[in-house]
Amino acid sequence: MEKDINWWKKAVVYQIYPLSFQDSNDDGIGDINGITSRLDYLKKLGVDVIWLSPVYRSPMDDNGYDIANYLEIDPIFGTMDDMKHLIHEVHQRGMRLIMDLVINHTSDEHDWFKESKTSLHNPKRDYYIWRDQPSDIGSVFGGSAWTYDEQTKQYYFHLFSQRQPDLNWQNPHLRQEIYAMINTWLDMGIDGFRLDVIDLIGKDIDEKKLSDGPYLNDYLQELYDTCFKGRDIMTVGEMPGLSIKRAQELTSGDDPLLSMIFQFAHISLDEVPGEGKWALKPLNLVEFKETFEKVQHTFYQKGWNSLFLSNHDQPRVVSRYGSELFRKESAKMLATILYGMQGTPYVYQGEEIGMTGVKFKSIDVYKDIETKQIYQILKEKGWQEKDIMASIYMKSRDNSRTPFQWNEEKYAGFSTHEPWLSVIPNYHDIHAEKDLQDADGVYPYYQHLIKIRKENEIFLHGDFKLILRDHQKIFSYIRTYGHQKILVIGSFSDQKMTIDLSPYQPIKIWLTNDHTIQLHDVMTISPYYTAIIEIGGK
Ligand code: TEU
Ligand code: CA
């Protein structure tokens, strides 16, 4: 029925945060050989593509998103041979591997920056952004985006930490060096990239145009022509500042510049608008639903979307949008609502066993640079300790970076050595070994959901219609493809509720998190109930 479909549209992508996935040599730090040892666990889940957060040489100021050498593996993760072995083993299992490409900035320990710093006339001076005077642009992590450098008495620009100087993409020599590096990795056999904050590379800082700047399309085109064109790869651009419409444009056409984009329209809905991520606001479900509706409609039959609720920067979904009290139910509900939509599904490590967020007692236990910086900044602003910690409990990036909970052994089977970031004490109850054996486990449910998605083209191609739009506690929509219709429903309530499905003529439940509930026109559903129901009506 349908034309040729790119493999990455049908793929399920699993994100690995290497520091926290599996330690293989008992130093308390996750590594490449640890990942290789867990590939069968991923294959069994139904994963097609693994996205690896950065493993390049790095001083780890921002956990590897500060790269000192793009063509070396950091020793804490292993060697280049380990990496080649991992790629081989992934391919052996019929999966693919994409790497994280952080090219908006480097580490301050990158040779380019070390040279750039030495003098105003160094050939690499212009690889970075230097000015005599700072502007009022702020860093994403808080504070100014400018740091003064004594040696040459100028300021350099960094949108993230001061150890992550921004590259000057307007320099053509720099661009050529980056493209050569990218081609080296692609020639080595990797299957594509996730491109970190790639919406920022076209910026004009003097005009204060950062995301989606005036040169973005040109540089993406050049990158595509020089590196991606003609290769059987997938690319996903992380574009936190890009509009839905622009994300659709960049992924459209016969030869799209990027396979898909992470756009963030749904991510900031639990923040006070304009106040940044630490100013909390309860989620308004209607707003949440309408945001997804807009995305689904914008991408329908033009461009391609990615489906994600969490990653290594975002809090755990169960603790953020679901309920720790109804942990398994809400984990399944959120997955069903998200992966029932059109787009490529992303699973962030631990989501598939319903891992939760964390509340460490003291700021000293946290490791994330953003969390540590914001703690100081909010203190200086006069925030109360308890309010700061409340925001950190909700939003800290360390929520999703704690070690993977494999079993109930000490340190959750992640390592035998004390891990770099503490394990969540709830690992005694929440761990993969237990979840996989549990008939009601989250992992078996994910397996089933992924299988159903792959077997039914309606998920790939069907259109999207939001129903029960004004309902404050139910997220429900209908997908239609040819003569087939499915209704996806998820309750965001910790109470029972009665719903009337008679207008939709329910026929059959394909998947649900509560088998005790029979299909009827009028049903009483349990807290965080979810189901995919084939229907005949509307
Ligand atoms: O993140 C980019 C980004 O803008 C956010 O996701 C940001 O990290 C978060 O909102 C802070 O609150 C990417 C990476 O995913 C992130 O881990 C890096 O720290 C950042 O770029 C810099 O490389
Ligand atoms: Ca290790």
Task: Write out the DSSP string of 262-300.
Answer: EE-TTTTTTB-TTS-TTSB----HHHHHHHHHHHHHHHT
Question: Quick check: helix, strand or coil at residue 367?
Answer: coil
Does 197 contact ligand 1 (Cβ within 6 A)? Answer: yes
* pLDDT at 3 (0 to 100): 47
81 part of the active site? no
What backbone phi and psi angles, to 5 degrees, belong to 341? -85, 175
* pLDDT at 5 (0 to 100): 80
| pTM for this prediction | 0.98
* pLDDT at 89 (0 to 100): 98
Distance CA 486, CA 475 (A): 14
What are the structure tokens assigned to 18, written together? 């290497």
Whose C-alpha lies nearest to ligand 1, atom 9? 313
* pLDDT at 2 (0 to 100): 44
Distance (Å) from CA 448 to ligand 1 centroid: 32
* pLDDT at 276 (0 to 100): 87
* pLDDT at 4 (0 to 100): 64
Whose C-alpha lies nearest to ligand 1, atom 2? 197
Q: Which of 266, 373, 375, 261 is nearest to 310 (CA)?
A: 266
Whose C-alpha lies nearest to ligand 1, atom 4? 240
Distance CA 419, CA 417 (A): 6
Distance (Å) from CA 126 to ligand 1 centroid: 24
Does 241 contact ligand 1 (Cβ within 6 A)? Answer: no
Nearest ligand to residue 237 Cα: 1
Q: How far is CA 532 from the centre of its chain?
A: 25
Distance (Å) from CA 161 to ligand 1 centroid: 10
From 23, 31, 61, 238, the catalytic residue = 238
Nearest ligand to residue 30 Cα: 2
Distance CA 374, CA 46 (A): 38
What backbone phi and psi angles, to 5 degrees, belong to 348? -95, 135
What are the structure tokens assigned to 124, written together? 């690499």
Whose C-alpha lies nearest to ligand 1, atom 10? 313
Which residues in 171-213 belong to E strands, given as ranges?
A: 192-195
* pLDDT at 442 (0 to 100): 98
Residues of the chain with pLDDT under 70: 1-4
Contact 355, 317 (CB under 8 A): no
* pLDDT at 296 (0 to 100): 98
Contact 342, 319 (CB under 8 A): no
What are the structure tokens assigned to 452, written together? 């159903």
Distance CA 306, CA 260 (A): 6
Contact 449, 347 (CB under 8 A): no
Distance (Å) from CA 195 to ligand 1 centroid: 11
Does 370 contact ligand 1 (Cβ within 6 A)? Answer: yes
